[in-house]
Amino acid sequence: MSVTAEAVRQLRERTGAGMMECKRALVEVGGDLDAAAELMRKQGLAKADKKAARIAAEGVIVIEKSTDGRAAAMIEVNCETDFVAREQDFRGFATDLGRVAIAARTGSLEALLAAKLPSGETADERRRALISKIGENISVRRVVLVEAQGQLGAYIHGTRIGALVALDGGDAELARDLAMHVAASNPKYLSVAQVPADAVAKEREILTEQAKGDPKNQGKPDHILAQIVEGKVRKALSEITLLGQPFVRDDKLTVEKLVNGAKAKITAFERYEVGAGIEKKQDDFVAEVMAQVKGAAGGKH
């Protein structure tokens, strides 16, 4: 049967798919718009599943704060290329996720993906539809909810690094400065007390071997070497703990001294960076193109 150009236009607006895909779907279901949209969703799901194994290490970090400023949700949404990370539909999807997460006060990825967006779709349905439309793997990698009894600082550097800091006491400026510090300095732990004992022991072992092998330490008594090692251990731990780090806006001041001076206490912090920990596939672009050309040539008979 023939389908009208208006029907194709309406289906394209609903699905975001290509004109020929829309036309084929309408023909297959006899021109019924709803049935065609459902069919294309099913086809989109199949496409999304095929792309799920592809590495998505680009993307954006979004932060959405509650109206009272006491809670914030931070989410990492990934795609395959930085081009798509700048694309309007992708950014809109990420923004919607942030709003839904803070409205539901959820830090659960499973709950977020099942939540309904303003369009009526679940977040996961929208994600899959975007995969079908854009042609790249898209994943919602992680979400965290941070709540504060006092101030809550939030900072995003561009779209790739986000940080949240919850305070008891202090003020909004201190909270934001601390979030900026976390974004810049990437602490692993809040304090030395939170560093796992096995990690401290391993660091001490490495630094002890280094100290023994240093020509400057030859002939020094064991108790002196032990003091040298402990000093190095304290320095190493200060570099990975938020309270021990020099404050980014005044390196003569540690974060601990800054917070104590403001009669405040850091109760929680989180930092997300796009693609952190994801192993990116290093492709030989020329080889990839040649493989595609050979594949296309081999398919012609």
**pLDDT 10s digits, 109-132:** 999 999 999 889 999 999 999 998
With 50 as the cut, is the pLDDT of residue 135 above it?
yes
Which of these, 257, 118, 271, lies nearest to 184 by C-alpha position? 271
With 70 as the cut, is the pLDDT of residue 179 above it?
yes
pLDDT of residue 47: 58
Give dist(CA 96, CA 87) in Å, integer.
14
Q: Are residue 120 and residue 81 in the same domain, yes or no?
A: yes
Give dist(CA 153, CA 166) in Å, integer.
6
Asked if the structure places residue 301 within a domain, the reply is no
pLDDT of residue 35: 85
pLDDT of residue 237: 93
Q: Are residue 67 and residue 130 in the same domain, yes or no?
A: yes
With 90 as the cut, is the pLDDT of residue 284 above it?
no
Identity of residue 193: A
Asked if the structure places residue 123 within a domain, the reply is yes
Which of these, 59, 206, 65, 244, lies nearest to 141 by C-alpha position? 59
- DSSP 8-state symbol, 122: B
Q: Are residue 162 and residue 258 in the same domain, yes or no?
A: yes
Q: Assign residue 63 the CATH number of its domain.
A: 3.30.479.20
> How many structural domains comprise the chain?
4
Give the residue, 97 or 36, on which the prediction is more confident: 97
Contacts 24+ apart (CB under 8 A), 288-291: none
Q: Are residue 113 and residue 208 in the same domain, yes or no?
A: no
Give the residue, 48 or 14, on which the prediction is more confident: 14
Phi, psi of 258 (to 5 degrees): -60, -50
Q: Are residue 168 and residue 265 in the same domain, yes or no?
A: yes
Which of these, 143, 148, 178, lies nearest to 69 by C-alpha position? 148
Asked if the structure places residue 73 within a domain, the reply is yes
Most confident of 2-11, 129-138, 158-167, 208-217: 158-167
Asked if the structure places residue 291 within a domain, the reply is no
Strand partners for 277: none
Please report, to the nearest 10 degrees, the dihedral formed by the alpha carbons of residues 37, 38, 42, 48 taken in order.
50
Q: What does the pLDDT look like over 192-245, one tens digit per residue?
A: 999 999 999 998 988 888 888 888 888 888 889 889 989 999 999 999 999 999
pLDDT of residue 45: 46
Confidence of residue 292 (pLDDT cuts 50, 70, 90): low
Q: Are residue 157 and residue 257 in the same domain, yes or no?
A: yes
Asked if the structure places residue 298 within a domain, the reply is no
pLDDT of residue 282: 46
pLDDT of residue 220: 87
Helices (H) and strands (E) in the chain, counts: 12, 8
With 50 as the cut, is the pLDDT of residue 41 above it?
yes
Contact 264, 252 (CB under 8 A): no
Q: Are residue 271 and residue 220 in the same domain, yes or no?
A: no
